[in-house]
Amino acid sequence: MEIIKADKLSEYQKVENLAYEIIPEFYADVIPHEHNIFFVQKFQTAKTIQEQIKNGYEYYLMYDDLIGIGYFGLQIDKNNSEMTLSKLYILKEQRGKGFGSKAMDFILSRAKHLNIVKNNINC
C-alpha cells in the first residue's frame, strides 16, 4: 500500500470521488442515503477539502497497485500540539486486508514527526 498526501486539486477530486463511493455504502444501514450525499456535498467535495486544508487539515490518499482504495483526513492544530483523526474510509472490497492498520501506523508516525504526544492524538 502507498499513502500519498493530497496537495492539489486533482487529488482532492480523487478524495471526493472516493467519498461518494464509500460513505453512502458504509452508512447505508444507519443513515438515509440522502443524508450521506448531503454529508459528502457539505464536507467532502474538492472545494471544501481545499478550504479545510487552509485550516489545518491534511488529507491522504491510499493506493494499492496504483488503484485508489481509500483516504483519511487529519486535523492538526496551529501549534502542532494536537492531532485529530477526522476520517478514515476504505472501499468495501478492500476492508479486512490490513490497510486500516497501515494507515494508523502512518498516522502515528506523522504524529511522532510533529512531536505530538500520544495523549494529544484524538480519534
**CATH number of the domain where residue 16 is located:** 3.40.630.30
What is the pTM for the complete model shown? Answer: 0.92
Q: What's the rounded Cα separation, in Å, for the pair 114 and 63?
A: 24
Our count of domains for the chain comes to: 1
Domain carrying residue 86? 2-122
Q: What is the pLDDT of residue 120?
A: 55
- pLDDT tens for the chain, 123 residues long, are 999 999 999 999 999 999 999 999 999 999 999 999 999 999 999 999 999 999 999 999 999 999 999 999 999 988 888 999 999 999 999 999 999 999 999 999 999 898 887 665 566
What single string gives the DSSP state of each residue in 64-104?
ETTEEEEEEEEEE-TTS--EEEEEEEE-GGGTTSSHHHHHH
List the Cα angle 45/48/52 in 5-degree steps.
Answer: 130
